[in-house]
Amino acid sequence: MKYVIVGGVAGGASAAARLRRLNEDAEIVLFEKGEHISYANCGLPYYIGNTIEERKKLFVQTPVSFGNRYDVDVRTLNEVTAIHRDRKVVAVKNLHNGKEYEERYDVLLLSPGALPVVPPVPGVDLPNIFTLRNVADCDRIKAQAVQLLEEQAEAVIVGGGFIGLEMAENLQKIGYKVTIVEKAPHILTPLDWPMAAIVQQHLSEKGVRVLAGNGLAAFEERDSKLHVILEDGTSLPCQLAILSIGVRPNVQLAREAGLAIGEAGGISVNQYLQTSDESIYAVGDAIEFPHPVTGKPYCNFLAGPANLQARIVAMNMAYPESTPYMGSVATAIAKVFDLTAASTGLSEAALQRAGISFQTVIVHPAAHATYYPGGSPMSLKLNFSPEDGQVLGAQAVGKMNVDKQIDAISLLLKHKGTIYDLIYSEHAYAPPYASAKSPVMFAGMVAENIMAHLMNPIQAADLDQLIDSGEEFQLLDVREIKEFKSGTIQGAENYPVDELREFLEDIPQDKKTVVFCEVGLRGYVASRILMQSGFENVYNLIGGMRTYRLVGKHNVKPQ
């Protein structure tokens, strides 16, 4: 049996190793057009920022060490240029010497990865505009970043996704003043605005400028300096620019070979990661696969799923149709200075696109017991189905323990878990690690209160709409007087929750009533008191002032 693998980074190298462990006698040839295999792709921004100091740390395996251990014929700087499916051969170009040759396969695995999106704007070919995808890109950026660094040097990051934010932090770390440009209304689009707003504020506090809702129009060179020109005409002079708009599946080889390409633009595979040719499999960033929640194919561009696919595809290449892949819910995370931002499943925008109805809660629990030193609050947003409570997506931002919440929800998402599963989750609790109720339990409990009609939620944006509409309603700030005076929402009256019962007769029962507190808990208690005291139409502001302060339009400043 002869296995040929195209691409030696995450997916390809892992699959080769597993294939060898499954079949000591097979011939395995691994082609990689770059110099390196199995390197630390996700570490590249941190090498640029000197967080990772030694370049050699990026290389998990060398072609020689990997070849020896797994008895694999590793051919770096050898590019596969065509697949001749009729003859079951691949055409290869040896980049060392330019020679072309063919290699026969019994079973072929494609792991060609993704390519950075380079927008066709004027000036995109000017010098000092970079994309970051592999070690060569990284070396290039690092060398130029060092050379171009001067007093007041500026860098512009085009695209405020996870990688863009990592690059922003690392370029600032080596001395650049950084601006992030994002065409969408806010950065970090896998997160909904109330969560992304926390990150955006943190970036500002750290001295990173964020220009959202303003796309890239062109690059220009003026007075021998690079300028990034935005759609609204803003011109950003800079030493260097990073394009981190996104990536697209690298499907050229597959397409030219006549393999099916799917609706999301990735290589089509079945549940065994087999392409439309039964002798050819594919994994990683180049494929598309149905999302476990929506059922619709998408490309996720994440290292974790690529590694898992590698293991699964090796099983199927050795034992056909033995091991189904079940898809990814797109769980992702990034460090953004002192914050961690993470998401799993579907955002509001993604749910709207998929036509799935949802309800949402935002909680701001402590990362661990408040009485134990060193804690800090986090914000967690949970999107769920109002019909059956199925968890649809979640996002969290905070200084610690954010990863743990998202991992737990990710696990449930893959099993079509519900908010009740969140409530019944059992976490390891001691004061240094957690509170007796974990953030995910807490979010689940709030969601259950909505499902059980114990509480009617209103989102910050909907409250703003209500205020703007001029419709008559009453707005009750149920925090302490001191808090009320430190800033509230336009039109709010103050009835501290612990005294609310005494004032019930002073408040009209037949009006629509919106209550709020700092994070939502006292608002919930207040709304229970009101709902059980004859008030007909009571809503509690989700996320409370802590969310509204960031995203609301009718903040009233401290008196």
Task: Pick out residues in 325-344 that bind a copy of itself (CB under 8 A).
Answer: 326, 328-329, 331-335, 340, 342, 344
- Give rounded-to-5 percent helix, strand, coil for the chain: 30, 25, 40
> What whole-number distance in Å separates Cα of residue 281 and Cα of residue 109?
5
- Quick check: 23 binds a copy of itself (CB under 8 A)? yes
Q: Which residue matches tokens 């171009």? A: 148
Backbone torsions φ then ψ of 173, nearest 5 degrees: -60, -35
Ranges within 342-381 binding a copy of itself (CB under 8 A): 342, 344, 369-373
- Quick check: 411 binds a copy of itself (CB under 8 A)? yes
- Quick check: 22 binds a copy of itself (CB under 8 A)? yes
- Quick check: 404 binds a copy of itself (CB under 8 A)? yes
Nearer to a copy of itself, 182 or 421 (CB): 421
N residues, the chain? 559
Q: Which residue matches tokens 């995808």? A: 133
- CB burial of residue 26 (10 Å; 0-12, 13-18, 19+): middle
> What whole-number distance in Å separates Cα of residue 379 and Cα of residue 396?
6
- Quick check: 246 binds a copy of itself (CB under 8 A)? no
- Quick check: 57 binds a copy of itself (CB under 8 A)? yes
Q: Which stretch binds a copy of itself (CB under 8 A): 98-106, 118-126, 190-198, 437-445?
A: 437-445
Ranges within 500-519 binding a copy of itself (CB under 8 A): 501
> What whole-number distance in Å separates Cα of residue 519 and Cα of residue 543?
5
User: DSSP strand E in 61-197: where?
Assistant: 73-76, 78-84, 89-94, 100-104, 107-110, 114-116, 129-130, 154-158, 177-182
Q: In angstroms, what is the minimal distance from the CB of 317 to a copy of itself?
A: 15
Nearer to a copy of itself, 82 or 507 (CB): 507
Which residues, including other chains, have CB under 8 Å from residue 162's CB and lie 6 or more apart?
Answer: 188, 190, 332, 333, 334, 341
- Quick check: 35 binds a copy of itself (CB under 8 A)? no
Pick the binder of a copy of itself from 423, 450, 458, 545 (CB under 8 A): 423
Pick the binder of a copy of itself from 173, 209, 311, 549 (CB under 8 A): 311
Pick the binder of a copy of itself from 1, 69, 185, 225 (CB under 8 A): 69
Ranges within 147-206 binding a copy of itself (CB under 8 A): 162, 166
Ranges within 440-499 binding a copy of itself (CB under 8 A): 441, 445, 454, 497-498
Comparing CA positions, the residue from 322, 329, 247 lying closest to residue 293 is 329
Q: In angstroms, what is the minimal distance from the CB of 174 to a copy of itself?
A: 16
Nearer to a copy of itself, 428 or 470 (CB): 428
Nearer to a copy of itself, 76 or 340 (CB): 340
Q: Are 277 and 295 in contact (CB under 8 A)?
A: no
Query: Could you tell me the sign of the dihedral formed by the alpha carbons of 243, 245, 246, 247, in that order?
Result: negative
Nearer to a copy of itself, 270 or 276 (CB): 270
Ranges within 255-284 binding a copy of itself (CB under 8 A): none
Nearer to a copy of itself, 87 or 415 (CB): 415
